[in-house]
């Protein structure tokens, strides 16, 4: 189904978090969502979201830069053109604009939302068809305070909302981080899966020391312990330890995935639509991983509901051996959608209906939009 893009509008939306969210590179008290509305000549509107973490502390695209790239470069490139699908859309964007995958992801998402609405199909059908309508979703304990994290974990277990947790470590001394992680693992119990995300904070020597203790303490997965550029360190660690390594920042595209897999990496890849350039682009990486026998995990950039749902439509079409972390909406004090996602029993329900299957609350969008 061909669509002609008429216009693209863009907002920066600032929403406070329910508590400080501590990572190795930043502590977040507010999240900025870059929201776009794509209007097509067929009388349909598609919505997209691009969200990053901590301004420029995480990566090279800030919310302000994403908005600028869309308004000044990508939207003028696309408006007035007709596309019969995402492949043609991506080709046009990639031919004239290098990088800027977060901005491209928002536009690819909006196009898929619009196309699904015209065809009367959910985005998951456009991506191959959902294998499931319920996907596992963990919760990140990231207050930075061991006792507060234990209390939060026990409460969520008692409520039945989550049964798997990830810890953000790497900002403090190794001994402090290891003590923190193992105390939480011990307090929450052997039946509860605990993973850690180091957010690139360790060099190889530190990672070997830390992973030895984490493996002995029963941690199930270690995410991106070493810097993004040091692929060899990830390969070395994946071959040395039984506890799996989750590659995140080091693997954005299918080319990155091939480079790691062909050089002996084992473990898992964290898929993120923002770092790949959209839901379809993220699935290209997933297919490389599947061919190489590497596990898959549905990663988040702490998006709101719109961006989280775009990811969930993609994740629903493949076997996610390590589940997902699409908890972003739960970290926000509010959102810009009419109906929130259903989180329960350690899972999240994929919305039904044409396109993304969500409705934007115009009043909340206007309230939280940066003036």
User: So which residues are the catalytic ones?
Assistant: 168
The two beta strands, 193-197 and 221-223, are parallel
Residue appearing with tokens 């076997």 = 319
Lookup: tokens for 268: 């898992």
Residues 6 or more apart in contact with residue 261 via CB below 8 angstroms? 288, 289, 292, 294
Sorted by sequence, the CB contacts under 8 Å of residue 362 that are 6+ apart come out as none
Residue 123's CB is within 10 A of a number of other CB atoms, namely: 29
Q: Where are the beta strands (DSSP E) in the chain?
A: 3-22, 27-40, 45-51, 82-83, 134-136, 139-141, 164-168, 193-197, 221-223, 245-247, 268-271, 295-298, 343-344, 347-349
| 144 φ/ψ sector (left φ>0, alpha ψ -120 to 50, else beta) | left
- HSE-CB at 274 with a 13 A cutoff on CA atoms is 28
Residue 167 Cα distances to 171, 219, 222, 286, angstroms: 12, 10, 10, 24
C-alpha closest to that of 60 among 228, 284, 247, 224:
228
* C-alpha 341 chain-centroid distance: 16
């Amino acid at each position: 189904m061909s669509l002609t893009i008429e216009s693209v509008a863009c907002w920066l939306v600032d929403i406070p978090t329910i508590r400080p969210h501590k990572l190795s590179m930043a502590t977040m008290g507010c999240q900025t969502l870059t929201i776009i509305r794509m209007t097509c000549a067929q009388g349909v509107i598609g919505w997209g979201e691009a969200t990053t973490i901590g301004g420029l502390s995480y990566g090279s695209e800030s919310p302000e830069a994403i908005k600028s790239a869309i308004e000044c470069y990508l939207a003028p490139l696309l408006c007035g053109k007709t596309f019969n699908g995402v492949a043609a859309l991506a080709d046009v964007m990639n031919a004239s604009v290098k990088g800027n995958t977060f901005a491209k992801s928002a536009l690819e998402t909006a196009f898929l939302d619009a196309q699904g609405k015209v065809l009367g199909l959910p985005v998951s059908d456009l991506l191959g068809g959902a294998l499931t309508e319920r996907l596992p979703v963990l919760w990140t304990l990231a207050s930075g305070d061991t006792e507060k994290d234990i209390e939060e974990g026990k409460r969520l277990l008692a409520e039945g909302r989550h049964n798997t947790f990830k810890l953000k470590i790497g900002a403090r001394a190794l001994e402090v981080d290891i003590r923190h992680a193992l105390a939480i693992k011990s307090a929450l119990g052997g039946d509860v899966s605990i993973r850690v995300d180091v957010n690139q904070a360790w060099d190889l020597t530190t990672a070997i020391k830390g992973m030895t203790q984490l493996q002995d303490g029963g941690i199930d997965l270690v995410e991106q312990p070493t810097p993004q550029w040091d692929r060899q360190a990830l390969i070395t660690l994946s071959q040395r330890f039984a506890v799996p390594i989750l590659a995140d920042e080091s693997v954005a595209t299918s080319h990155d995935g091939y480079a790691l897999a062909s050089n002996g990496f084992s473990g898992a890849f964290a898929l993120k639509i923002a770092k790949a350039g959209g839901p379809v682009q993220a699935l290209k990486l997933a297919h490389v991983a599947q061919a190489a026998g590497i596990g898959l995990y549905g990663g988040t950039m702490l998006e709101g509901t719109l961006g989280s749902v775009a990811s969930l439509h993609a994740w629903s079409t493949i076997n996610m051996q390590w589940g997902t972390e699409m908890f972003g909406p739960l970290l926000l004090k509010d959102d810009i959608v009419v109906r929130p996602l259903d989180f329960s029993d350690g899972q999240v329900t994929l919305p039904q209906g044409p396109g993304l299957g969500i409705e934007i609350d115009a009043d909340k969008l206007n309230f939280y939009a940066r003036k």
